[in-house]
Structure 1
Amino acid sequence: MLYYGIIAALIGGIFIAVQGGINGMIGNKVGIFPTVIVPVIIQFIILSAIILTKKDLIGNILKLRDVKFGVGFLIISAILGLGIMSTLTFSIMETGPLVAFAIVIFSQLFTSMVVEHMGLFDMVQKSISGYRMLGLLAMLVGIGLFYK
């Protein structure tokens, strides 16, 4: 299962890089709002069609009633998704994809380290170590080198 997770993460990274590049290119021509809203509308249409064809999904969606704050957390997740697309598109437009994604990865690692340290979102708690901090510092040095 670990290998499937690694493969999924690699594919997800490729998707993010390609989507970010496309959004940066389009955002430079039409602005951030149309660049974000059109994909969201298309996602809504595709997901609505999937829900209509797979009736068992409706049952799974209704199970959200049993998850404490489930719908609330998913609303926050949706807002974060819009923020991700908007800020990443703007960053790529301003800095280019390489620096933008390097900084995004740094911020993801830093935030994930804090989330694990605090045990948030039902994550297994892992303390912040010197090695983790050293890795983040090395990444900052690398970002500086990318920017040169």
Structure 2
Amino acid sequence: MARLFTTLLMLLAGVGLSVQAAINGTLGKKIGALEGALVNFFVGTLILLLTVLFAGHGQLGEVLRVPKWQLLGGLIGAVYVAAMVFAVPRIGVGVAVMAVIVGQLAMSMAIDHFGLFGLRRIPVDGYRLAGALLLAVALFLIYRGSGR
């Protein structure tokens, strides 16, 4: 049951990312792609700061002792948001999000297969490979269908 709930939660997160891409794309069209990404991160930072202040129970001070490569998530997130703000007005939400999903899946399968970053190994098998190929075909079809 917990696995199903977590999967549904991530499905909902995907819905949120598509809405975020559309909102950020329209914002970036009005104020600029990098400026739109900055505003996105600024608002997100304020919300997270308030949440941590009132509900956080972690050890934020430990960030000074983690391996520095673990801080790259922020850089990758900034590049992702800036790329979406730039891409959505040009290619649409569907193609942009689908391309991200295909890229995410390819890299996540490599991370799983090799057990990178200290994570549990989940080898690529025929099912996973077929699913990835079907998503790549879906990207191609969505791309072709949006070029009219």
TM-score, normalised via structure 2 length: 0.84
**1:38 is the counterpart of 2:39:** yes
Quick one: structure 1 residues 134 and 49, their matched pair in 2 at CA, closer, same or farther if it must change by over 3 Å? closer
Aligned to 1:101: 97
Q: Per-residue deviation at 1:117? A: 1.0
Q: Which residue of 2 aligns with 1:61?
A: 60
Tell me, in whole angstroms, the C-alpha distance in 2 between the residues paired with 1:60 and 1:49: 16
Question: 1:145: which partner in 2?
Answer: 141
The structural deviation recorded for 1:64 is 4.0
Pair 1:21 & 2:22 matched: yes
Q: Residue 59 of structure 2: SS of its match in structure 1?
A: helix
CA 1:130–1:24 in 2, change beyond 3 Å: closer, same or farther?
Answer: same
Query: Is the CA contact (8 Å cut-off) linking 2:24 and 2:85 kept in structure 1?
Result: yes
RMSD: 2.0
Q: Which moved more, 1:30-39 or 1:109-118?
A: 30-39
Structure 1 segments of 4 or more deviating over 4 A? Answer: none
Q: What is the rounded CA distance, in whole Å, between the counterparts of 1:109 and 1:25 in structure 2?
A: 26
CA distance in 1, matches of 2:134, 2:41: 36
Does residue 112 of the first structure (1) align with residue 113 of the second (2)? Answer: no
Which one of 87, 90, 93 corresponds to residue 86 of structure 2? 90
Change (3 A) 1:7 1:138: closer
- Are the counterparts in 1 of residues 24 and 40 from structure 2 also a CA contact under 8 Å? no
Task: Pick closer, same or farther for the CA change 1:114–1:134 going to 2, 3 Å.
Answer: same
Provide, for residues 59-111 of structure 1, a one-character-per-residue CA deviation record: whole Å limited to 9, x for no partner.
62134456x51xx2442111111011011222212210111111111111100
SS at match of 2:124: coil
Give distance in 2, aligned partners of 1:104 and 1:51.
Answer: 29
Could you list the runs of 5+ residues in structure 1 that have no partner in the other structure? none
What are structure 2's unaligned runs of at least 5 residues?
A: none
